[in-house]
Amino acid sequence: MDFKRRNFIKKATLGSLAAVIGADIVYGDNMPKGYNLLALQDPDPFKLFDKDVDMTLLNSKPWNMEAKAHLLDDKITPNKFMFLRNNGIIPEDINADNWTLTLDGESVEKTKTYTLNELKTKFKQYSYQLTLECGGNGRSEFSPPAKGNQWTIGAVSCAKWTGIRLKDVLADVGVKDDAVYIGYHAADIHLSRDPSKEPISRGAPIAKALQDETLLAFEMNGEPIPLAHGFPLRLVAGGWPASVSGKWVNRISIRNVEHDGPKMTGSSYRVPCKPVAPGEKVKDEDMCIIESMPVKSLITLPKSGAIIDKGKKLEIRGHAWAGELEVSKMEYSIDFGSTWKTCAVEKPVNRLAWQHFSASIAFPEKGYYEVWARATDSQGISQPMLLPGWNPKGYLNNACHRIAIKVA
Ligand SMILES: Nc1nc2c(c(=O)[nH]1)N[C@H]1C(S)=C(S)[C@@H](COP(=O)(O)O)O[C@H]1N2
Ligand SMILES: [Mo]
């Protein structure tokens, strides 16, 4: 509960509490001093968003939640294990029946508005499994620390998205030759509730917007997108920071300049163009926009802390992804990175989907071990064993994932 509300309750009279709740508090005189009425407590976010109770709540204003590694074991991430990242307040009264999408901007041939139904019927539909990772995933490990949600490893998902190609809609409205960027606008509400402010409005270069897999999606895992994940219409641009994938999208601007909406400028979703020392101040003009996400992987089975019997092999599995690229090699180490052995790694089901790996590990004797996993992308770049380069906002931590194992 925030301070404002706590103070309010401390000072509140029974009459004012009743006014907030909308009913008399019949035995109100018996309430223990300072007691917080259930009706005034935050709603249960796990129930509210259909999330598994093992998910970790990072923030309630706005709602931010992440998964633990072992919860991400499914090949296709179900809603209950999908991280939730909001910059503002989830839109309150969405009516899909009168939802529209407007295409505008300096570089649109002619501003045009489509109803959701028009989009669904006029354009061909496609389904892709797309990896969405928050640019700040892994932020909690940086030192000196970076402000913002302290994501550990769980701000990544790979659901199956169904919708229409943004490129088909762009072709239908007509894009002028000078177009360089698209920027999304959405229906969520700024934390200040000032209607003139947007919580976030990011975008991508035209080349990314024109990729086959860049969707305007209306379904996730075969069902309407859950409200918190962008119902009824969401931009999905796999392989890039998930902040590019605008939820509750109602307008897309075709820009003749780099899009300049909130969280697109300054230091948001940017890293120093050249490496800097930890803690160094970096000028905004020396920060570059994050595009394709770096190579990364996650061991999703077993759960860290597993115990196995001596002489038994440990079966591990997980996923690996590499932004716009493919993962070409997957390895594990049980000796803190001194030697590495190969894991089997599958091809992605489609471009920009994560890939599955597995291995069967033999341990030489009883004791404590850590299994470290390391992916290498198709350009030969591997995950760093521990932390990658420090950056002021704590983005792009793609360090090797590690689990603890005891052989007993
Ligand atoms: N309209 C809108 N779109 C948004 C956001 C938001 O706050 N509002 N957050 C972005 C960020 S920073 C991330 S990481 C992803 C999170 O997607 P998810 O909540 O569906 O997992 O949505 C992106 N799209
Ligand atoms: Mo994000």
- With tokens 């000078």, the residue in question is 178
Do residue 166 and residue 280 come from a single domain?
A: yes
User: What's residue 2's pLDDT?
Assistant: 44
Ligand 1, atom nearest to 234 Cα: 3
Do residue 284 and residue 308 come from a single domain?
A: no
User: What's residue 10's pLDDT?
Assistant: 52
User: Would you say residue 234 lies in a domain?
Assistant: yes
Band of residue 11 on the pLDDT scale cut at 50, 70, 90: low
Taking the centre of ligand 2 as the mean of its atom positions, its distance from the CA of residue 353, in whole angstroms, is 18
Does 9 or 47 have the greater pLDDT score?
Answer: 47
- With tokens 């759960």, the residue in question is 303
What percentage of the chain exceeds 70 in pLDDT? 97
Do residue 301 and residue 245 come from a single domain?
A: no
Angstrom distances, CA of residue 154 to CA of 64, 132, 293, 299, 300: 11, 11, 15, 11, 11
State which amino acid sits at residue 131.
T
Number of domains in the chain: 3
> Which residue ranges have their beta carbon within 6 Å of ligand 1?
82-88, 134, 157, 186, 188, 199-200, 229, 242-243, 245-248
User: pTM score, two decimals?
Assistant: 0.91
Measured in whole angstroms, the distance separating CA 351 from the mean position of its chain's CA atoms is 18
Minimum CA distance residue for ligand 1 atom 17 = 85
Do residue 204 and residue 283 come from a single domain?
A: yes
Taking the centre of ligand 2 as the mean of its atom positions, its distance from the CA of residue 136, in whole angstroms, is 6
Segment 272-277 mean pLDDT: 96
User: Would you say residue 31 lies in a domain?
Assistant: yes
Do residue 14 and residue 153 come from a single domain?
A: no
Band of residue 291 on the pLDDT scale cut at 50, 70, 90: very high
- pLDDT tens-place string over residues 114-132: 999 999 999 999 999 999 9
Segment 380-408 mean pLDDT: 97
* Ligand whose nearest atom lies closest to the CA of 157: 1
Average pLDDT score, the chain = 95
Minimum CA distance residue for ligand 1 atom 1 = 247
Whether the per-residue pLDDT at 3 is higher than 70: the answer is no
Do residue 36 and residue 132 come from a single domain?
A: no
Domain closes at, from 260, 289, 318:
289
- pLDDT tens-place string over residues 143-182: 999 999 999 999 999 999 999 999 999 999 999 999 999 9
Do residue 134 and residue 283 come from a single domain?
A: yes
Minimum CA distance residue for ligand 1 atom 18 = 84
Q: Which domain holds residue 107?
A: 96-289
> Which two structure tokens, joined as six digits, stand for 140?
């909690």
CA–CA distance, 324 with 240 (Å, rounded to integer)? 8
Beta-sheet pairing, 287-289 with 249-255: unpaired
Minimum CA distance residue for ligand 1 atom 14 = 134
> Which two structure tokens, joined as six digits, stand for 307?
């115990």
Angstrom distances, CA of residue 115 to CA of 92, 103, 120, 125, 182: 20, 12, 9, 16, 20
User: Would you say residue 90 lies in a domain?
Assistant: no
